[in-house]
């Protein structure tokens, strides 16, 4: 009768044995970038006590092929994973470039720039025994630029952007949904890439939600395991519009969390300048930005307004500024009277346009505006 081999707990092993077990575990998981980081650490650790081993490890790291070499597009590309039922692709490769960097809040710009710099200067981090951020969670309302930032990051890093199509991943046979997610994540791990999991809350809902069936709860566990094993040679980005729906364990798995706020007036103005392609004057754009900010609009709202206005301007052969102000005036005049008066006073004091134009835009009479101005200045 064969006897089962008793495996000692990792804590009972010597330090060198623990290093070997840790190295083997990462190698079996296919985490090549993490293997290189560990070897860098071991080379420095053994430099004093085992110089020959340290030099051998350093030589191996210098001569090893780089993990940055992409596998796709050289004749050995893995096929895009398909749903076994519908045969629809489970992931989309987004190849649309961005001509300029998206307008971002300062905190968002700093955090995303840090992520890019970590990957662009990966070798410096590896030499220090560190790895770049592997995963990041984008949180914010719709239309604030989460998807655009994912495109911008992929473009800066020179990596393909893979977008997970959650509508196709959620199979009609719930038992296959976990398999679909694994297919996509394994495909993204196969070579350096940026994977965007859009609408993460669709699959990573709270496991204490009594409305969800057991299979959907198990999907969260599958996702958490995959995030934990994500290689440092690629970048996993996830986006959600409904942070409160996410399972608490999901938050702890991400290296960084980037909160995308609604844009302020200055950011909306910058975005409108990009969208109009110099077809409108800055004074009118400042008014439009003020109107959009008063309604807590997103970048998507600003883009939609500008696109509609540009089409109308071309078809009606009128200046774009005129169409923009007309569209904004329609929205402002739907506000309650006191809000319109307050908005009219803001425009007059900001000196964006004459009192007459403010009256036309807001529907507030000049007498009302003049009376408010006299009371503010203490005149009779």
- pLDDT one-digit tens code per residue, 354-379: 788 888 888 888 888 888 888 877 65
Rounded to whole angstroms, the Cα distance separating 149 from 113 reads: 10
pLDDT number for residue 69: 35
123-154 pLDDT, tens per residue? 898 888 888 999 999 999 999 999 999 999 99
Helix residue ranges, H only, the chain = 15-28, 32-45, 51-63, 106-120, 122-127, 146-157, 166-169, 174-189, 214-228, 248-253, 265-276, 282-294, 299-316, 320-332, 337-350, 355-362, 366-377
**How sure is the predictor about 312, in pLDDT bands with cuts at 50, 70 and 90?**
very high
Rounded to whole angstroms, the Cα distance separating 243 from 377 reads: 46
Rounded to whole angstroms, the Cα distance separating 235 from 217 reads: 25
Average pLDDT, integer, range 215-230: 77
Residue 53 pLDDT greater than 90, yes or no? no
pLDDT number for residue 74: 34
24-42 pLDDT, tens per residue? 776 776 666 567 777 777 7
pLDDT number for residue 39: 77
Strands 194-197 and 235-240, bridge-based pairing: parallel
156-201 pLDDT, tens per residue? 999 999 998 665 566 555 567 777 788 888 888 888 899 999 888 8
Residue 341 pLDDT greater than 90, yes or no? no
How far CA 286 is from CA of 37, 230, 301, in Å, comes to 50, 44, 16
Higher confidence at residue 311 or residue 14?
311
For the chain, the maximum distance between any two Cα atoms, rounded to a whole number of angstroms, is 108
Average pLDDT, integer, range 302-328: 92
Q: What CATH topology corresponds to 91-259?
A: Rossmann fold (3.40.50)
pLDDT number for residue 170: 65
Rounded to whole angstroms, the Cα distance separating 342 from 244 reads: 34
User: How many whole angstroms from its chain centre is CA 154?
Assistant: 10
User: How many whole angstroms from its chain centre is CA 149?
Assistant: 5
Q: What residues does each domain of the chain span?
A: 14-63, 91-259, 265-377
Residue 380 pLDDT greater than 60, yes or no? no
Task: Name the residue among 232, 151, 243 with its Cα closest to residue 196.
Answer: 151
260-297 pLDDT, tens per residue? 999 999 999 999 999 988 888 888 899 899 889 988 99
In this prediction the pTM is 0.74
For residue 9, what are its two tokens? 């707990």
pLDDT number for residue 140: 95
pLDDT number for residue 10: 46
């Amino acid at each position: 009768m064969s006897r089962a081999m008793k495996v000692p707990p990792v804590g009972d092993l010597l330090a060198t044995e623990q290093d070997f077990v840790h190295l083997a575990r990462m190698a079996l998981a296919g985490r090549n970038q993490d293997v290189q980081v560990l070897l860098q650490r071991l080379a420095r650790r053994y430099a004093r006590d085992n110089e020959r081993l340290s030099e051998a490890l350093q030589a191996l790291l210098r001569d090893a092929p780089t993990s940055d070499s992409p596998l796709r597009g050289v004749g050995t590309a893995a096929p895009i994973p398909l749903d076994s039922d519908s045969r629809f692709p489970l992931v989309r490769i987004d190849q649309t470039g961005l001509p300029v960097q998206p307008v971002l809040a300062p905190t968002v710009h700093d955090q995303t720039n840090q992520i890019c710099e970590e990957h662009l200067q990966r070798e410096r981090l590896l030499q220090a025994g560190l790895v770049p951020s592997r995963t990041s969670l984008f949180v914010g309302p719709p239309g604030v630029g989460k998807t655009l930032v994912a495109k911008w990051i992929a473009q800066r890093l020179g990596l393909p952007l893979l977008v997970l199509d959650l509508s196709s991943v959620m199979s009609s046979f719930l038992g296959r949904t976990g398999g679909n997610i694994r297919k996509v994540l394994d495909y993204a791990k196969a070579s350096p890439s940026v994977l965007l999991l859009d609408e993460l809350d669709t699959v990573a809902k709270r496991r204490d939600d009594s409305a969800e069936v057991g299979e959907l709860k198990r999907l969260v566990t599958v996702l958490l395991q995959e995030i934990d094993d994500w290689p440092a040679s690629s970048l996993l980005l996830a986006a959600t519009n409904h942070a409160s729906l996410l399972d608490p364990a999901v938050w702890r798995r991400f290296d960084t969390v980037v909160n995308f706020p609604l844009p302020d007036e200055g950011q909306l103005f910058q975005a409108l300048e990009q969208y109009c392609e110099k077809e409108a004057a800055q004074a009118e754009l400042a008014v439009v930005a003020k109107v959009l900010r008063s309604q807590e609009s997103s970048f998507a709202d600003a883009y939609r307004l500008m696109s509609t206005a540009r089409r109308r301007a071309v078809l009606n052969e009128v200046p774009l500024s005129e169409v923009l102000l007309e569209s904004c005036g329609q929205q402002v005049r739907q506000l309650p009277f006191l809000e319109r008066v307050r908005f009219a006073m803001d425009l007059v004091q900001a000196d964006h346009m004459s009192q007459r134009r403010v009256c036309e835009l807001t529907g507030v009479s000049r007498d009302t505006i003049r009376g408010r101005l006299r009371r503010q200045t203490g005149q009779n």
